[in-house]
């Protein structure tokens, strides 16, 4: 019997549709030379496609019952199961070029991605299943209604793309929303240096503290040259491009 109370607490909706599972595994790609980290393997729907083919495969799972289930399922096969809350996981412990994948709990997807962005991990790429509305924000462009803090913070370091949508019927407990499978690939030339990201992230928070007000109002307490980009100060935060945010940030850094 499904424990719906616990599943809701951990944001667990398990994939059961074989066509969707195959599509996800194919999109991620098999490369036995690279390390993999899966977030929230659940009962191993995605994990099944990699066990035996990947030499260095780890998975972080918060649910102790799932850990026991996976240990019985895979035995001594090549998988390192980590019983931990992903929000307390040290991403900086991961090796270079790690592929980070998973069906993210929708209620903490933004927190997980911000945690990855602020860490010193250097991944090969990220592949996540998330709520479609969140995917739209990750992939939004300036001027879009979905252009937001997470759009900017992620896109100064990564190229984001939504690969395909996933219908609720693909899950054992059908979510009330459509899901999307996304890929995030590190930029060869980041718009903001990784070392400056923490400060940049705080700067963006200030810029968006009131989306209905102009940047001039939101940034009034920061020391910014009034002669620079006067036209930008008249705009709202969702109208500013990545390069324009970069230039504004350089002034207050």
- C-alpha separations of 238 from 59, 106, 207, 222 in Å: 36, 23, 9, 19
Q: Both tokens of residue 127?
A: 């592949």
Pairing of strands 36-39, 57-61: parallel
Map residue 144 onto helix, strand or coil. coil
d(CA 191, CA 48): 37
Q: How far does Cα 116 stand from its chain's mean position?
A: 7
Contacts for 71 with CB less than 8 Å, ≥ 6 apart: 81
Task: Assign domain 194-252 one CATH number from 1.10.150, 1.10.287, 1.10.8, 1.10.10.
Answer: 1.10.8
Domains 4-186 and 194-252 share a fold: no
pLDDT bin (cut points 50, 70, 90) of residue 36 is very high
pLDDT digits (tens, 9 = 90+) for 92-124: 999 999 999 999 999 999 999 999 999 999 999
The answer to whether the beta carbons of residues 127 and 99 sit under 8 Å apart is yes
Q: What is the CATH number of domain 4-186?
A: 3.40.50.150
Pairing of strands 125-131, 179-186: antiparallel
Contacts for 112 with CB less than 8 Å, ≥ 6 apart: 39, 86, 87, 104, 105
Residue 33 phi, psi dihedral angles, 5° rounding: -85, -15
pLDDT for 238: 86
Q: Where are the domains of the chain?
A: 4-186, 194-252
Beta bridge mates, 177: none
pLDDT digits (tens, 9 = 90+) for 220-241: 666 555 555 556 667 788 888 9
pLDDT bin (cut points 50, 70, 90) of residue 210 is confident
């Amino acid at each position: 019997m499904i424990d719906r109370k616990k599943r809701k607490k951990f944001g667990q909706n398990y994939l059961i549709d074989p066509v969707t599972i195959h599509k996800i595994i194919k999109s991620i790609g098999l490369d036995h030379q690279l390390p993999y980290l899966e977030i929230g393997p659940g009962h191993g729907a995605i994990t099944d496609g990699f066990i035996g083919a990947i030499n260095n495969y780890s998975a972080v799972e918060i649910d102790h019952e799932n850990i026991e289930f996976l240990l019985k399922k895979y035995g001594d096969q090549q998988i390192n199961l980590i019983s931990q809350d992903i929000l307390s996981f040290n991403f900086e412990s991961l090796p270079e070029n790690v592929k980070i994948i998973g069906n993210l709990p929708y209620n903490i997807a933004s927190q997980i991605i911000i945690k990855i962005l602020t860490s010193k991990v250097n991944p090969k790429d990220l592949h996540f299943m998330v709520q479609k509305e969140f995917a739209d924000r990750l992939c939004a462009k300036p001027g879009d209604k979905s252009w937001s803090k997470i759009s900017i913070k992620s896109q100064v370091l990564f190229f984001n793309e939504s690969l395909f949508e996933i219908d609720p019927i693909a899950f054992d407990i059908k979510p009330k929303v459509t899901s999307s499978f996304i890929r995030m690939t590190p930029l060869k030339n980041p718009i903001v240096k990784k070392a400056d990201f923490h400060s940049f992230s705080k700067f963006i928070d200030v810029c968006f503290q009131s989306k209905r007000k102009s940047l001039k109002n939101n940034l009034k307490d920061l020391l910014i040259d009034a002669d620079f980009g006067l036209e930008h100060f008249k705009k709202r935060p969702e109208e500013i491009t990545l390069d324009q945010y970069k230039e504004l940030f350089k002034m207050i850094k």
